[in-house]
């Protein structure tokens, strides 16, 4: 079995339930997961070098915005140099990173995180319509993660106007039924010898259990661990 570490937790999402669902979904393709919402502990575990895959499925950032002032004590997180180094070493060993949904909002004090993931969240510009039915379609870029997937619909959030690094080639794009244009929602990157997949979908268990999206997430984990080419 491949070993996966899931870092999770945060506001506005049922992370505990959804991370457990994600773990079950990945286990069916040979990926065994350890789940923790204690991020410092998680990075200590990552630094052992024992994991083939790191999955970031969390909403933890420095929370400088005034509207989150009352939530900072419980939920704010600043990524320290030791944690940054653990992430860099993990990728440098040729291992994988699967960043899901709110992962693009995390670790905002470290510019390197945007470069790894391929996008960041810009407060005041980035947004999503309310949770609801969204349409997802392949962009036509061939890749084993997408395979021959046709356009599909699921209940999720359509992340829009993220700060995306130049030159990125999305594999999937998404829009809600209140929008007229699509936004990139899944892509791959290779960073320091490691493989990275970002999937902007994944609000809750319903998303991970959607039959098409479930297969995409499974193949994303296998690709990131270089078990699928």
DSSP letters spanning 78-126: ---HHHHHHHHHHHHTT-EEEEEGGGGGS-TT-HHHHHHHSEE--TTT-
Closest to 199 (Cα-Cα) out of 181, 149, 180: 149
228 band by pLDDT with thresholds 50, 70 and 90: confident
Confidence at residue 229, expressed as pLDDT on a 0 to 100 scale: 83
Site of tokens 């619909």? 153
What's the CA angle centered on 159, arms 68 and 199, to 5 degrees? 110
Closest to 53 (Cα-Cα) out of 174, 214, 195: 195
Q: What share of the chain is helix, strand, coil (3-state, %, to 5)?
A: 30, 30, 40
What would the pLDDT profile of 50-72 be if each residue is shown by its tens digit?
999 999 999 999 999 999 999 99
Confidence at residue 206, expressed as pLDDT on a 0 to 100 scale: 98
The mean pLDDT value for 138-163 works out to: 97
Taking phi first (over 0 means left), then psi (-120 to 50 degrees means alpha), and beta for anything else, what does residue 118 get?
A: left
Residue 93, pLDDT above cutoff 90? yes
What is the chain's mean pLDDT, rounded?
A: 97
What would the pLDDT profile of 96-130 be if each residue is shown by its tens digit?
999 999 999 999 999 999 999 999 999 999 999 99
- Two structure tokens written together for 1: 């079995």
Q: Is the pTM of this model over 0.85?
A: yes
Residue 43, pLDDT above cutoff 90? yes
* Cα distance between residue 114 and residue 91, in whole Å: 15
What would the pLDDT profile of 160-214 be if each residue is shown by its tens digit?
999 999 999 999 999 999 999 999 999 999 999 999 999 999 999 999 999 999 9
């Amino acid at each position: 079995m491949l070993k996966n570490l899931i870092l999770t937790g945060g506001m506005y999402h049922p992370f505990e339930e959804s991370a457990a669902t994600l773990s079950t979904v990945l286990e069916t393709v040979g990926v065994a997961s350890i789940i923790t919402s204690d991020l410092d502990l998680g990075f200590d575990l990552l630094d052992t070098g024992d994991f083939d895959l790191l999955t970031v499925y969390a909403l933890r950032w420095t929370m400088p915005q005034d509207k989150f002032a009352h939530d900072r004590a419980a939920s704010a997180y600043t990524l320290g140099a030791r944690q940054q180094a653990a992430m860099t070493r993990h990728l440098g060993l040729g291992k994988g990173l699967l960043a899901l949904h709110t992962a693009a909002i995390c670790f905002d004090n470290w510019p390197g995180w945007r470069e790894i993931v391929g996008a960041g969240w810009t407060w005041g510009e980035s947004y999503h319509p309310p949770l609801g039915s969204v349409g997802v379609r392949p962009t036509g870029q061939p890749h084993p993660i997408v395979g021959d997937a046709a356009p599909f619909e699921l209940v999720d959030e359509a992340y829009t106007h993220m700060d995306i690094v130049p030159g990125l080639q999305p594999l999937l794009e998404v829009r809600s039924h209140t929008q007229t244009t699509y936004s990139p929602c899944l892509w791959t990157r290779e960073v320091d010898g490691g493989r990275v997949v970002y999937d902007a979908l994944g609000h809750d268990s319903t998303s991970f259990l959607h039959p098409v999206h479930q297969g995409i997430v499974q193949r994303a984990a296998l690709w990131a661990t270089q078990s699928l080419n």
